[in-house]
Each structure stands twice: as C-alpha cells, then as structure tokens.
Amino acid sequence: METILAATVAVFFAVSIYLMLSKHIIRILLGVSIFSNAVNLTIFTAGRVVREVPPIIPEGLDIPDRVTANPLPQALILTAIVISFSIFAFLLVLAFRAYQELGTDDTDGMRVAEPEGEDLPPLGY
Amino acid sequence: MAIEPGQAVDLSGAMVLAPATPADWLVVGPVAIPIVTGAILLMVRHETRLHAGLAVAGLLAALLCNIGLLARVLDQGPLVMTMGRWLPPFGISFAADALGASLALVATLVAVVCALFATADIGAVGRRYGFYPFMMLMMAGVSGSFLTGDIFNLYVWFEVFLISSFGLLVLGSQHKQLDGATKYAILNLVGTTLFLTATALLYGTFGTLNMADIARKADGLRENAPLTTLAVLYLLAFGMKAAAFPVNFWLPASYHTPRIVTAALFGGVLTKVGVYALLRTLVMLFPPELELLSGLIAWVAAATMVIGIMGALAQTDLRRVLGFVVISGVGVMLAGLALGTSEGLTGTIFYAFHSMIVMTALYLLAGVMNGLGGSYSLSKLSGLYTSNPLVAAFALLLMLAVAGLPPASGLWPKVMLVRASLDSGQPWLAFAILATGFLTTLALGRVFILAVWRPRVAADPEAPASPYLGYVALAALSLPVVVMGLYPDPVISVAERAANAILDAPAYIGTVFPEEAAQ
C-alpha cells in the first residue's frame, strides 16, 4: 500500500513541478494546488497506513484495548488543507485581479513592478 | 486496564495538572496579545479613528511582555509552556530560549515604531481595508515562529504571517502592487509548502514534531534515516523565506511596491524569521548535517551578500536599493551559519538584531525622504541637506550602520563574523564580508551624495509632508543603533547566550522534558 501511495505522491510532485515551471500564472496556480495535495498525501503516507480501529477508548477503559490507527497525520493534513485552501483561494482572486488590471497572465509580460530598461542612477552631478 | 465508573484516574503521567503560572502567560503573551488586539481591531473596523491607538497600545503591551520574557529567560534559562495541558511531546510546547525571546523582542520593538509611523502614512481608507489588523496578525505569526517549540506549529505560524503579509502587500491595489504581490505570494507559498514537505518526511522518520524530542532522537536515528535529505529540504525552504541567493528573486520583485511602512516592516522582520528557522533547525536539530552542508552554505552566503549588494548598485529607485541591501544582509547572516561556531553564530544573531532595526529605519527614512523630496528616484531626489539637515544626519548615521562602519551597530557583528571566518580557516569568506561592506558603502554613499548633498535638481514638491512623526520614528530606531555601536557588550552577551542556547541542545531538551534531565 505504501508503495502505491509513494508512487502516487511522486506523480503528483512531478506534475506539479512541471506545471509550476510554466510562464502562465493559471498553470502555476494549478501546479501549486497539486503541490499542496502532494504534500498532504506525503503526510498521510509518512504517518503509516494501517488497517486499524479508530483511536476511541471504549467506555470504562483507561487506555485503548487494542492497536489503533494514528490520528495525528489526519490532524496535520486537516490543518494543511485548511491553510493551503484558504491561501489558494486568495491566490486565485489575486491572479484574477492581476489579469484584469495588467491584461496578461504571462509572467514575461508582467513587468510593471520591475520595468525593463530602467535608467541607471546618475553617475554624477 | 479496566476502571470502574466514577473511579478517579491518575492523569499526572499525561497531563500538566498544576494551574498555569504567571511565567506561562509570559511565554504566550507576545503571541496572544497581538492576536487579541487584531481581533478587537476587526470588531471596530468602521471606527478607523480608534485603530492607531489600539494597535500601538497592543504592541506596547506585547513589547512589555517580551521584555519580561527575555529578562526571565536570561535570568533563569529557557521557559516552556505546554498548550492544552498535554505533556510534551504530545501537547504543543512553546519554548522560549534566549534566541527566540531576544528576536521576538527586537521584532516587536520595530513593529511599535512602524505602527507609530503608520498613523500618518496610512489614511482612513487603508485602515478601513485592515492595515492594523493585518499588521497585528503578522506580528502574532512572527512572534509565534520565534517562540514555538514544535515544528508543525512553526509551519502554522509561518502561514499566519504569510497570509497577513499578503493582505498588507496588496493594500492599495496599484498595478505594480498586484504584479509584485503575485510573485511574492506564489514563491512564498511554494517555499512554505516545501517546508511542509520536509516536515512530513521528518514526521515519518521521527514520529514526533516536538523540536526537543526530535533533537534527542536524532542521534539514535542517524545511522539509517535520511536526515541529510531533511536538512537540505529545510535549507532550501528557509533559504527561500530568508531570500538567499539563488532563491531570492521574489524579494526585489515585491518589497518596493507596498506602502513604505509595510515595506519597512517586511524588510526589517520577515527575512529574519527565515534566518531564525535555519538556525533553529540546522544548528539545533541537525548539527552533523550542518557540518556536511557548511561548504555549500558558505558559498550561498558569499553569493547572496555580493550579488545582493551589486543589485543595489544598479538601482535608481531608493526602495529597490534597500530591497537588495536586505538580501545582502541575509548573506552576511548566513556566513555565521556556515561557520557554525559559537563566535560565528553570535555574530549572526547580533547582525540579525542590527539588521531588523537598521533596515526598518532605512525604509522609514526613504518614506520621509519621499515625503520631503516628492520622489523615490535617485535622479530626482536632491537637496535634502539644505532643506532638512536632520534628515541628512539620520541618513548618514543609518548608512554608516548598514555599511558596518563606526560609530553604529553594524561594525561589531561584522568584526565577529570576519574574525570567526579567519579562525576557522576561511579567509575568502572574511574577504567576501569585507568586500560587501565596501560595496554597501559605495551603494549607500551614492544615495547620500545624490539625495542629500546634491543641490536641488527638481522643483520642490508643492506640499512636502510633515516629517515630524518620521523624525520620532527615526530617533526611536537610531537610538538603539548608536547604543549598540558604542556600548555593544550587553548585546554581545545576549547574542552569545542565544548562540549557546541553540548549540547546547541537551539543555533545551532538559527544559522541555524536565524528568529526563533529573535522571
């Protein structure tokens, strides 16, 4: 099971890096989204995949009576999903605004903040 | 282990049962106070008159808390507080040692000055769009990063200050802000996601996220586990946050676009969080791997400082000059990390204090100059010496400071770093630091000559902004710069304590797991 998941993670990382190398913001954003899902799957796999019961202590007991699944990776993934989803939403709006205002989603054309061929500072006075 | 209903269970093995002490509040205060203030500011979003006062008051309270925390840490050693009562490594610990507490203190000091400066710089519209709440949440994220003892929690604080910094960066929505913010946001998100990748692999290897627990288990795992891979991933992720060459291009693309006070806060504080995280992970958690990587880090450091300052030489916009100076300063800090010795790390930490204060002051100075001269461009800015001699004085002092010349604070950390490089047989690194100092003198000396000494070349702006609040802010930041330059002993001893706190992992482990230290 770990092998299959590890291979899936590898494919996710490869696809996301390929997309993030693009010049177009929208493809980069898709890459970023797949990138964060690749990481979530990494956490899931790194937390050991086992077929066990949920970590709920039966009534009247002090500790679980058998081996249980590890809940921590799921808590970590949940946190990471919430964070990456909210930032991704922000990035989408930002990219859309930038596209509206700058008229391009090609990073080669986005040179407003760093214009090409700027003057050098004066050499003397 | 069955128990009868109603039978009392002994929880002392798993939970903290003692009530919270005042010291616990001291650890969590620098984070909690900005969050609470930020929440209050959001509730009174429409009452923009109240914002500045509330924000300054909240940051002053956080500053007091930070002073108390640092005094206590210097007096009695690291202070640990555990969230939700679960004993570490299961509960999330906040562990304030000399490094985290001192950096949190300087960052909050810088934020107080920025909040004061913003009262004039940010108008009602900027406040309405949430400048102060974003600023408070960013400071909560920064302080949380400095104080947490849990690596996943560090990731969460990184994201907290990252999303707040997005809000600050786009405030105003000018074209170039949208352009800069897009690049800043995407590259920084990739950086933090890499950090999360490293943390996922670390969790798979160690089965724990508590930094003290990782440090004590690392030696046992080193034989079989790919710890060097983790160290390299952390180096890349935090190097990106710190703007180390060759992953620094987001910084010059964005730092000159927002309001000047936002740029001042970013330039002062944010890259240092990356440097701090590098120190914390590489020096404390993975020292043998750091030794393995030190050659690489030394080259990265030298390239960052030299290429950074060469970028500054080529710029016309004063704010872009400063962006490259920030990068060059990060290179100087990485030099101490590459050396890894107590003296080198002391130099790095002292330089971090100095750089936080000086870079913020320089950005604010640029704001004052723009208010008086009507431009950030070096081809237009001129004649400030005759019209505002006080600005000229501040400019001279701060430029000497950032170039590492006496009487200001930049001298001593550079002396320490040069001596540490020579002691560890890397004279070329010492040469790179000195050459960077020389090029910084050139780059900022030219700014001084053009903007301050040159007779006025353009017509005076019709309504020059009143510089008095700027003078107050610059004086508040120049005072520590001069004091650290003339009387560096106390700061050096704090930086030395901070360096030894991360070099001496067993002491840190002992404070988080007291029962182990007792055995």
DSSP A118: P
In this prediction, residue B3 carries a pLDDT of 53
Domain boundaries, chain A: 2-51+68-102
What's the rounded Cα separation, in Å, for the pair B83 and B463?
53
Q: Is A92 on the interface with B (CB under 8 A)?
A: no
Rounded to a whole number, what is the distance in Å from the CA of A4 to chain B's nearest CA?
16
CB contact under 8 A, B189 and A60: no
Neighbouring C-alpha atoms within 13 Å toward the C-beta of B513? 17
Q: What is the separation of C-alpha B417 from the centre of its chain, rounded to a whole number of angstroms?
A: 19
CB neighbour class for B90 (10 Å; exposed up to 12, middle 13-18, buried from 19): middle
The residue among B236, B265, B1, B262 whose CA lies nearest residue B110 is B265
In this prediction, residue A104 carries a pLDDT of 85
The backbone torsions φ and ψ at residue B45, rounded to the nearest 5 degrees and listed phi first, read -55, -35
What's the rounded Cα separation, in Å, for the pair B200 and B137?
26
Of B179, B197, B454, the CB nearest to A125: B454
The predicted-structure confidence for A24-38, as pLDDT tens digits, reads as follows 999 999 999 999 999
Q: Please state, as a whole number, how many other Cβ atoms lie within 10 Å of the Cβ of residue B514.
A: 10
Q: Please state, as a whole number, how many other Cβ atoms lie within 10 Å of the Cβ of residue B1.
A: 7
Strand, coil or helix: B459 = coil
Rounded to a whole number, what is the distance in Å from the CA of A13 to chain B's nearest CA?
11
The residue among B320, B168, B182, B183 whose CA lies nearest residue B259 is B168
Q: Is A16 on the interface with B (CB under 8 A)?
A: no
The backbone torsions φ and ψ at residue A2, rounded to the nearest 5 degrees and listed phi first, read -60, -40
Residues of A in contact with B314 (CB under 8 A): 120-121
What's the rounded Cα separation, in Å, for the pair B62 and B85?
24
For A:65-84, CB contacts with B below 8 A are 72-73, 76, 79-80, 83-84
The residue among B103, B81, B99 whose CA lies nearest residue B24 is B81
What's the rounded Cα separation, in Å, for the pair B155 and A70?
21
Residues of B in contact with A35 (CB under 8 A): 190, 193
In this prediction, residue B91 carries a pLDDT of 84
CB contact under 8 A, A102 and B179: yes
Mean pLDDT of A80-91: 93
Q: Is B12 on the interface with A (CB under 8 A)?
A: no
CB contact under 8 A, B2 and A86: no
Q: What is the 3-state secondary structure (H, E, C) of B367-421?
A: HHHHHHHCCCECCCCCCHHHHCHHHHHHHHHHHHHHHCCCCCCCHHHHHHHHHHH
The residue among B117, B62, B136, B142 whose CA lies nearest residue B476 is B117
pLDDT average per 10 residues of sequence, chain B (519 residues) = 59 78 88 95 89 94 95 90 83 91 96 93 86 95 95 94 93 88 93 94 92 90 88 95 92 92 94 95 93 94 95 92 96 94 95 96 94 88 87 94 90 94 94 95 93 82 78 94 93 94 89 72
User: Side chain identity at B347, as an amino acid letter?
Assistant: G
Q: At what angle do helices B287-313 and B427-448 cross, to 10 degrees?
A: 30
User: Side chain identity at A103, as an amino acid letter?
Assistant: G
Rounded to a whole number, what is the distance in Å from the CA of B176 to chain A's nearest CA?
5
CB neighbour class for A89 (10 Å; exposed up to 12, middle 13-18, buried from 19): exposed
Token couple for B364? 């604010």
For B:35-74, CB contacts with A below 8 A are none
Of B176, B186, B205, the CB nearest to A113: B176
ipTM: 0.94
Residues of A in contact with B257 (CB under 8 A): 113
Residues of B in contact with A91 (CB under 8 A): 185-186, 189
